[in-house]
């Protein structure tokens, strides 16, 4: 008889989920659900780990799981039998595949037993049995992310709850605002499950928009992860502090600020963090220490139960250079799109565009996108403290496509709404009098 359970395989994956390397933990977690585990103790440990992920947003260590007061003594003893045998993402994926084989074998065994019991009856509803068998085989064959991919209308109907939720559910849960006022006013924001492309010419503010959008979403209570592949954590954090405080990012980065300004920045930073925390949001910077593919990046952030992932930017990912760059970029975008659909979040990828507003190297980036925003910031607008930029929307699948007028505060990394009638915004007041006002505000 085929073996249907391996406690060793279950413990290996559970221990992998608690690995200190986020890529390994993410690869283990994203590949399984509770049906992958047979023993009651394994299921209990898996659910405990999931609970910690949701509550803290952090990858729980092996010791932290053992110290969970809600874990039973049997589950704790069971987990102590585990070993840290998974040491790479490849090994994590192989371990998940092995565990899936046991899940499938177990499913076939249970299905065969079910069919046998039904056939013992004096009267057999063959059509119903075939329908049940077909659905069960599909569930057995499917992996975690595809098990719920089929929506039936009519025979084998499973659409009632789905349609009721569309008609009567709270649509706000499915739409995440961007902070780009004219877009949010027209569409409400970005639909969960979307791939969004943000493209601009070099130096035109791609990262500015991504950072402003992520901070805005976090302040509304969403969990956002930004992956700055080009900038350091210090540079990324300086942009955040500039946006929060309204003080020049370069001066913050090089600490060319007065003591009063430092106090102002820190107080505003604390207020912003508290506001985000009270809303239940989070803004995480994930700066990889080595080159990563799109798959590795998304596996690494999976443990943080996020609503939005921003990759800045796609051409810096591992494996997208070379002679077939267009194909590699298209494949990375497709993976990001499927990942967004499977996780119910919004994946945002930044990319370069040409002076003619054409996305470089890969038209597939736009083809796979639900929404795309592209623009070029003329030199004259980049030299102003508040420049007016026109964003085009070559792709806007679930909303109306129209040009967006947005104000860019270059030195403070902020975006602001502007009127289409008034494109001559004033400059920021940097007079000595205003700087004194800033210093006074620090003491409020």
CATH number of the domain encompassing residue 32:
1.10.860.10
Does residue 169 fall inside a structural domain? no
Which of 146, 161, 195 is the last residue before a domain boundary?
A: 146
Does residue 167 fall inside a structural domain? no
What region, left, alpha or beta, does residue 285 occupy, with left being phi > 0 and alpha being psi -120 to 50 degrees?
A: beta
- Residues 106, 201: one domain? no
Contact status, residue 324 vs residue 362, Cβ threshold 8 Å: no
- Residues 192, 323: one domain? yes
Residue 335: per-residue pLDDT: 87
Ordered alpha helix ranges (H), 198-258: 206-219, 233-245, 249-253
Contact status, residue 285 vs residue 233, Cβ threshold 8 Å: yes
Residue 100: per-residue pLDDT: 92
- Residues 188, 296: one domain? yes
- Residues 140, 190: one domain? no
- Residues 44, 138: one domain? yes
Regions in the chain scoring below 50 on pLDDT: 145-147, 362, 421-436, 438-444
Question: Nearest to residue 348, comparing CAs of 220, 185, 228?
Answer: 228
pTM of the model: 0.66
Residue 357: per-residue pLDDT: 62
- Residues 207, 304: one domain? yes
Chain mean position to CA 137: 31
User: Hey, which residues does 371 pair with through a beta bridge?
Assistant: 196, 396
- Residues 227, 365: one domain? yes
- Residues 14, 91: one domain? yes
Which of 128, 146, 164 is the last residue before a domain boundary?
A: 146
Task: Provide DSSP, 130-197.
Answer: HHHHHHHHHHHHS-GGGTT----SSTT---HHHHHHHHHS-GGGGEE--S-HHHHHHH-SEETT-EEE
Name the strand (E) or helix (H) holding 64: helix 62-66
Does residue 387 fall inside a structural domain? yes
Residue 172: per-residue pLDDT: 61
Question: Nearest to residue 368, comparing CAs of 391, 393, 395?
Answer: 395
- Residues 114, 257: one domain? no
Does residue 98 fall inside a structural domain? yes
- Residues 183, 243: one domain? yes
Does residue 163 fall inside a structural domain? no
Q: At what angle do helices 22-30 and 294-301 cross, to 10 degrees?
A: 80
Neighbours of 380 (CB within 10 A): 8
The total of structural domains in the chain comes to: 2
- Residues 12, 103: one domain? yes
Residue 325: per-residue pLDDT: 72
Domain residues for 400?
175-441
CATH, residue 384: 3.40.50.300
DSSP letter assigned to residue 36: G
Beta-carbon contacts of residue 402 (< 8 Å; ≥ 6 apart): 182, 186, 393
Does residue 29 fall inside a structural domain? yes
Does residue 168 fall inside a structural domain? no
Start-to-end C-alpha separation, the chain: 75
Residue 360: per-residue pLDDT: 56
- Residues 116, 263: one domain? no
Does residue 378 fall inside a structural domain? yes
Which of 146, 163, 185 is the last residue before a domain boundary?
A: 146
């Amino acid at each position: 008889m085929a073996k249907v359970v391996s406690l060793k395989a279950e413990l290996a994956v559970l221990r992998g989920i608690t690995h200190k390397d986020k890529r390994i933990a993410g690869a283990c977690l994203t590949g399984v659900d509770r049906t992958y585990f047979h023993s009651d103790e394994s299921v209990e440990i898996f659910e405990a780990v999931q609970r910690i992920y949701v509550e803290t947003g952090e990858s729980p260590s092996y010791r932290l799981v053992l110290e969970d007061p809600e874990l039973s003594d049997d589950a704790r003893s069971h987990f102590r039998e585990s070993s840290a045998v998974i040491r790479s993402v490849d090994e994590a994926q192989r371990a998940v595949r092995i565990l899936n084989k046991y899940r499938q074998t177990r499913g076939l065994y249970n299905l065969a037993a079910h069919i046998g019991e039904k056939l013992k009856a004096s009267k057999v509803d063959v059509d119903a049995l075939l329908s049940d068998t077909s659905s069960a085989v599909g569930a057995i064959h499917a992996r975690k992310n595809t098990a719920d991919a089929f929506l039936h209308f009519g025979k084998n109907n499973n659409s009632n709850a789905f349609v009721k939720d569309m008609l009567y559910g709270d649509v706000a849960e499915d739409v995440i605002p961007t902070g780009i006022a004219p877009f949010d006013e027209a569409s409400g924001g970005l639909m969960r499950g979307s791939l969004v492309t943000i493209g601009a010419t070099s130096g035109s503010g791609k990262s500015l928009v991504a950072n402003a959008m992520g901070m805005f979403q976090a302040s509304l209570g969403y969990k956002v992860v930004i992956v700055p592949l080009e900038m350091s954590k210090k540079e990324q954090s300086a942009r955040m502090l500039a946006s929060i405080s309204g003080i020049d990012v370069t001066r913050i980065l090089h600490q060319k600020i007065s003591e009063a300004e430092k106090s102002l920045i820190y107080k505003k930073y604390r207020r912003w963090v508290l506001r985000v925390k009270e809303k239940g949001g989070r803004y995480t910077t994930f700066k990889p220490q080595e080159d990563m593919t799109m798959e590795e990046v998304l596996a690494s952030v999976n443990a943080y139960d996020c609503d939005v992932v921003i990759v800045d930017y796609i051409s810096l990912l591992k494996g997208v250079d070379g002679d077939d760059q267009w194909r590699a970029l298209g494949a990375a975008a497709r993976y990001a799109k499927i990942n967004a659909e499977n996780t119910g979040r919004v994946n945002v990828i930044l990319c370069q565009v040409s002076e003619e507003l054409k996305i470089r190297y890969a038209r597939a980036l736009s083809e796979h996108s639900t929404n795309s925003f592209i623009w070029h910031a003329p030199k004259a607008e980049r030299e102003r403290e508040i420049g007016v930029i026109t964003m085009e929307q070559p792709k806007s699948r679930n909303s109306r496509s129209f040009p967006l007028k947005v104000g860019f505060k270059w030195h403070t990394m902020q975006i602001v709404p502007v009127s289409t009638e008034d494109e001559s915004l004033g400059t920021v007041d940097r007079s000595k009098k205003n700087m004194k006002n800033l210093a006074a505000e620090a003491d409020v």
